[in-house]
Each structure stands twice: as structure tokens, then as C-alpha cells.
Structure 1
Amino acid sequence: MCVLSADLTAGMTRPGRGHGLLDVFHRRYLLRLLVRKDVQIRYRGSVLGWFWSFIKPTAQFIVYYVAMGQFLGLNRGMENFAIYLFSGLVLINFFNEFFGNGTRSLVDNAALIKKIYLPRELFPVSSGFIALVNFLPQVVVLLIVCLFFGWHPNASQLLAILLAIMIVFVLALGLALLFGSIDVSLRDAESVVEMILMFTTWLSPVLYNLPLVQTTTSPTVFFTYQLNPITAAVNLFHFGFWAPTQSDASPEHIASFVGPHVMQYAVYGLAISFVFLLIGQLVFRRLEKNFAQDL
């Protein structure tokens, strides 16, 4: 009887046991379905539809440009300050949308999670790809503006753009897994995330430039500030989009605004992002056994 039972269970796995993010890769078709569904219904019933992907960041840019560029005079001390500002804003918007929606993705899909088993990581990951879909039109607008101002990047600057997107995606995914799994049982996580997102724009050189931070902080604080993966990613976007539009393209001039070791801090930022991804996945796997009953 025991032998027969062993034969019947051979090759089977315990229900609900998976391989984390690897299962998302193995079930890419489900990921495509989730992304397609959310993208299609996001602007359903909207007159402007996809144009909202352009209107919202443009409105945000105008407000900040007038407040920071005109009233505070930052555009007078920096060539093409509008590109510097907008390149940082679109990246911050990408992170905020991914992190915020990814945190709520499990609770928002509670009905589906309670009915069937599927890799629960699908929901935060799909939030990331949806944010990426909304992010790309903004990058297109930024690219068109940069081309108008004589954008002429080299290979390292193009690499910097891709590396910045990778840093933000990995970091936001790790944080979404971490806070999303906690949010299932403790809805206070959403309030914590809202507070984090409130400070995100101000903790990176978007509405101000890097030299202002360097001249008003100690070397230790400035070093710690640059270890922030979002700061590293924003500096990479400045290096990739803003720097190639400068009339003075000397390394000294560019380094004075993006830092002399932009690639070095990018490596640090990517490493820290992967640490958060590992922590987020471990916490997610630890808590997911209770998702169905807590939801």
C-alpha cells in the first residue's frame, strides 16, 4: 500500500509551492494576459485615452519648471534645465507608479488569488510592466525634445539610460514584493508607501542639482546620498539625456552636475537594488502561504 502511494505521488509537488519569480518567467503567457488586460481597461471610457500618458507628466513638468526654474532661477544657472528636470521626473514617475501599484496589486486581485493558484509574484511584476508601458511614451517625448536641442549621445550615455531603467525596475520590484506581501495582512503598508513616494522626488537631484547637495552637506552625507539607487538612476538619466545637449561637453563640466563617478555609483545602486529584490522575494515567499486566508 505504501509503495502504491509513493508511485502515485511521484513527480508531484505540494500545492502552492513554487519557485518565486522563476515561475513568472515560466508562465509568461499569464503575465502578458494581465498586462494586456490592465492596459486595455486603464483608459476605457476615457475621451483622451492614451494621451493621458503625455498630459499628466507634462502638467507636472510645467508646474515644477515654473516654480523651480523661473521663481527660484535654477534655469538661469544651468543650460537646458528643462531637459534636466524632465529627465528626472519621468524616471521618478516610473518608480512611483511601479512601487505604488505593485504594493496594492495583491489586494486589488484578492478575488483571483482566493479562487485559484498561480504565481502571486505575477501581480507585482505585471504592475511593473504596465508602469513601463506608461513610461515609454514619456521617454519618447523626452527624446524628441532632446533631439531638438542637438542630442548626440555616445555609447556610454546610451548604456547609462538602459542601466537607469534597470536599476529602477529591480528596486521597485523588490520594494513592491516586500510591501505588497505585508499589505495583505497589514494595510498600514499602503500608508507607509505613500509617505515614501512623497519623499522620492526630493531625495534625488530632480528639482535641484547635485552641486547644491555637495556644497550644503558633509562628505559623509553626500556619499550616503549618492548610494541611493534612485539618485544613481536619475544621475544616469541626466548623463544620458541632458549631458549630450550641452554646448560645453567637457568631462569636467558634465561631472560637475552628475558627479565624477556616475558609473561607479550606478554599480552600487544596482547592487543595492538586487539586495532589496532578494529581501522582497524572501519576505514574499515567507508570507504568501497566508495570502488567501488574509485576503
Structure 2
Amino acid sequence: MASTNVDLADEPLRAPGHSAGLLELFRWRFLLKLLVKKELRVRYRGSVLGMLWSYVKPAVQLIVYYIAMGQFLGLGRSIPSYVVYLFSGMVMINFFNEILSNTTRSIIFNAPLVGKIFLPRELFPVSSVWVAFVHVVPQIVVLVVGALLMGWRPGLVNLLAGVLALVVICMFALGIGLAFAAFDVYFRDAENIIELLMMVAIWLSPVFYQWTMVSNAFPTWLFTLYQLNPLALGVELSHYAFWVPTNGVIPDGGAAADLMPPHWVIMSGVGVLVALLVLVCGQVIFHRLEGKFAQEL
């Protein structure tokens, strides 16, 4: 009994309702796994297609956007392998939007648990990230199959770019989601703001169009600011992973390197730092506001 008292005395004191944040999640990984299973079970309860919706929704999106942007507006005639270009960007945008939507509502949806027991509140947004990852995997499988049929043969750098794209999008979306999950407890307007952001996200990154259109339309400083957007970075990295020809040659005889923005390797490093900064800021905001979650809910 004495040793137990000593152990408790050695534990650092914490403000009520606060945890060590994202750094503590590894200790709670079993509970995190249960939350992911619960969220998936609740989402597909009573659904006939179940996880097949992970294929149906992006397939319908791809068909609509390809016809509208690729055929009606003629972008498919100026961008080689446009269907792969389009879908590789859409996969990242869908990943971003699902993380953002689910994390923002994660505390409200789990209000009974937040009000009754103490556990790291970050478990709820992070579990939403894992659910989004479960849904994006089928889309990546379809993308890989389609790219292979179009002649894509990945190298190590391509694969690393694809992984980095997912990491950047995940950090950026989780950082914003943590902040707005906390705001949503106090102000329900946070959900409407996130819906607006999701609506414009696909236009803030080169999903339908190429980066050259942005550089031609705006001054250099504004284009540089555009490149620092982690969302645009994630889409461009996805393009490099699945769309840029690995043999170094594009159909019109130019160099494949010309398909990527200038200084894209350096800008990728800076974009990763921006995404990490957003994640840290989101964690700080969440940590400062989480103490009164139970009272507000």
C-alpha cells in the first residue's frame, strides 16, 4: 500500500479535464481501436451496401467531374491521362473532407462519453481520422489499378510521394479538425464554417486544373503562397505518385519534370512544416478549451 501511495505521489498533477494530448494516445490505443469499430458500426448500421459505398461515391464523383470538366470544358484534351490526373487529386480531397467533417463533429457525437468518463478527448478526432483512412484505402486501390492500366509503373520516389501526400493531408486536416471540434462545443456555427471550407477545398488545389493556370493568372508572390497550401501540396504529390510518367517522357515529347511546379521538392518540405504547424496550433487550441467540454455538453 505504501508503494502505491508513493507511485501516486510521483504522478504529475494535471488540471481537471485535461490530458497530455496527442502524445498520450499510444497508451490508449486499445480504446482508440474500439472507438474506430464503434464509428464504423454506427455509420453502416442498416446499410445494404455497407463499405461498398467507399467505391460507389467516388466512382459517381469521378464520372460527373470527368464529363463536366474533362469533356464539356475540354481539360481532358490539354492534360494527358486526365482521368488519372483527376482521380488522384479527388482521392486526396475526399480524404481531407472526410477527416475535416468527422473530426469537427466528433466531440458532439460522443457527448455521452465525454460527460460521463474521463479519457483523452483527442481520441475522438483521431478515431475519425482512422475511419477516413479506412474509407480512402479502397479509393487508392481503384486509383492504382487504373494507373497501371494507363501504363503507370511506380518507382520508389513515386511511392514515397504518395505516402507523404497522405501524411500531409492527414496532419493538415487533423489540425484544423481539432480546433473546430473544440469550437463546435461552444459555437455550432463551426460546422457551417467547415462545410464552406469543404465546398471550396477542391478549388483551392489543382484537382481539375494544372498549376500552370494558377501561375499564369496570378503574380509570383501569390502563386508561391498557393504552393504553400498543404492541400495543394498533397494533391501535387499524389499527381507525382500516380500520374507523372515514370519513364520521364510525356506524350508530346516533353520532359515529365515539366509537369510539376517549379522548386516543388523544396516547396514540399516547406508545406510539410506548414501542415505540422497547423497540427500543433490545433492541438494547443483543443487543449485550452477541452477543460469545460463536459459542462458545455
TM-score of the aligned structures, taking structure 1 as reference length: 0.93
2 CA distance for matches of 1:168 and 1:103?
A: 16
1:54 aligned partner: 55
Judge which range, 224-233 or 256-265, deviates more: 256-265
Cα offsets for 1:141-197 (capped at 9, x unmatched): 000001111111221111110110000011111111111111111111111111111
Q: Which of 230, 253, 274 is 1:272 aligned to?
A: 274
1 CA distance for matches of 2:213 and 2:24?
A: 45
CA contact (8 A) 1:87 1:242 kept: yes
2 CA distance for matches of 1:39 and 1:183?
A: 22
Instruction: Give the alignment of 1:254-265 within 5 angstroms.
Output: 254-265=256-267
SS of the aligned residue for 2:236 comes to: helix
Judge which range, 145-154 or 14-23, deviates more: 14-23
2 CA distance for matches of 1:127 and 1:253?
A: 40
Cα offsets for 1:17-40 (capped at 9, x unmatched): 421112211110011001111122
Q: Give the Å deviation of 1:249.
A: 4.6
Alignment partner of 1:282 is 2:284 = yes
1:292 aligned partner: 294
2 CA distance for matches of 1:81 and 1:246?
A: 18
Cα offsets for 1:228-270 (capped at 9, x unmatched): 0010110000001001378825996333332132222211111
TM-score of the aligned structures, taking structure 2 as reference length: 0.93
1:171 aligned partner: 172
2 CA distance for matches of 1:145 and 1:17?
A: 46
Identity of aligned residues (%): 47
2 CA distance for matches of 1:79 and 1:247?
A: 14
1:3 aligned partner: none
Provide closer, same or farther for how the CA distance between residues 245 and 60 of structure 1 changes in structure 2, counting only shifts above 3 A.
Answer: farther
Give 2:80's aligned amino acid. Answer: E
Judge which range, 37-46 or 207-216, deviates more: 37-46
Cα offsets for 1:191-234 (capped at 9, x unmatched): 11111111100010001111111111111111111110010110
SS of the aligned residue for 2:244 comes to: helix
CA contact (8 A) 2:100 2:177 kept: yes
Q: Give the Å deviation of 1:108.
A: 0.7
2 CA distance for matches of 1:262 and 1:71?
A: 30
1:151 aligned partner: 152
CA contact (8 A) 1:183 1:190 kept: yes
2:99 aligned partner: 98
1:232 aligned partner: 233
Q: Give the Å deviation of 1:289.
A: 0.5
Alignment partner of 1:125 is 2:143 = no
Alignment partner of 1:70 is 2:55 = no
Provide closer, same or farther for how the CA distance between residues 8 and 246 of structure 1 changes in structure 2, counting only shifts above 3 A.
Answer: closer
SS of the aligned residue for 2:243 comes to: helix
2 CA distance for matches of 1:222 and 1:103?
A: 29
Give 1:134's aligned amino acid. Answer: H
2 CA distance for matches of 1:238 and 1:267?
A: 17
Provide closer, same or farther for how the CA distance between residues 212 and 253 of structure 1 changes in structure 2, counting only shifts above 3 A.
Answer: farther
1 CA distance for matches of 2:291 and 2:243?
A: 46
SS of the aligned residue for 1:107 comes to: helix
Judge which range, 260-269 or 82-91, deviates more: 260-269
Aligned alpha-carbon RMSD (Å):
1.9
Q: Give the Å deviation of 1:47.
A: 1.4
2:138 aligned partner: 137
Provide closer, same or farther for how the CA distance between residues 243 and 8 of structure 1 changes in structure 2, counting only shifts above 3 A.
Answer: closer
2 CA distance for matches of 1:80 and 1:71?
A: 16
- The count of residues paired between Structure 1 and Structure 2 equals 290
Runs of 4+ in 1 over 6 A off after TM superposition: none
SS of the aligned residue for 1:119 comes to: coil
